[in-house]
Amino acid sequence: MENIIEIKNLKKRYDDKFGLGEIDITIPKGVIVGLIGENGAGKTTLIKSMLNIVKIDSGEIKIFEKDYKKDEKEIKEDIGVVLDNMFFPELLNAKDINNTMKDIYKNWDSKLYFSYLKDFNLPDDKSLKTMSKGMRKKLEIATALAHKPKLLILDEPTSGLDPVVRSEVLDIFQKFIEDEEHSIVLSTHITSDLEHIADEIIFIDNGKKVLQNSRDEIIDNFGVLKCDIDYFSKIDKQDIIAYKKTKYTYEILVNNKEQMSRKYDECVIDKITLEELMVLIIKGEKIC
- Amino acid, res. 31: V
The whole-number pLDDT of residue 224 equals: 96
The CATH number given to whatever domain includes residue 178 is 3.40.50.300
| Whether residue 76 sits in one domain with residue 117 | yes
Mean confidence (pLDDT) of the chain? 92
Query: What pLDDT, in 10s, does the model give residues 116-174?
Result: 999 999 999 999 999 988 888 899 999 999 999 999 999 989 888 888 888 988 999 99
193 within a domain of the structure (yes/no) = yes
Contact between residue 21 and residue 59 where contact means Cβ atoms under 8 Å apart: yes
Give the residues across from 155 on adjacent strands: 187
Query: What pLDDT, in 10s, does the model give residues 238-278?
Result: 999 999 998 889 999 999 999 999 999 999 999 999 999 99
| Whether residue 100 sits in one domain with residue 24 | yes
| Whether residue 52 sits in one domain with residue 115 | yes
| Whether residue 131 sits in one domain with residue 61 | yes
User: How is 90-151 classified by DSSP, letter by letter?
Assistant: TT--HHHHHHHHTTT-TT--HHHHHHHHHHTT--SSS-GGGS-HHHHHHHHHHHHHTT--SE
64 within a domain of the structure (yes/no) = yes
Categorize the per-residue pLDDT at 1 as very low, low, confident or very high, splitting at 50, 70 and 90.
low
Q: What are phi and psi of 258, to 5 degrees?
A: -65, -40
| CA–CA separation, 104 and 16 (whole Å) | 38
Domain with 272 in it: 222-283
| Whether residue 144 sits in one domain with residue 227 | no
Contact between residue 41 and residue 206 where contact means Cβ atoms under 8 Å apart: yes
